[in-house]
Amino acid sequence: MEELQKENEELKKKNAELEERLKKYTNGNNHKRYYEKHKDKYKELGSNYLQKLKEENPEKLKEYRQRAYQKRKEKMKQDNNQASSNS
CA 39 to chain centre: 17
pLDDT given at position 23: 82
pLDDT 10s per residue in the chain (87 long)?
899 999 999 999 999 999 988 887 777 777 788 889 999 999 999 999 999 999 999 999 999 999 999 999 999 999 998 888 876
Model confidence, pTM: 0.49
For residue 22, give its domain range: 1-27
Report yes or no on 49 lying in a domain.
Answer: no
70: in domain? no
Cβ atoms of 61 and 50 within 8 Å: the answer is yes
Q: What is the pLDDT of residue 87?
A: 64
Classify residue 60: in a domain, yes or no.
Answer: no
Q: Does residue 73 lie within any of the structural domains? A: no
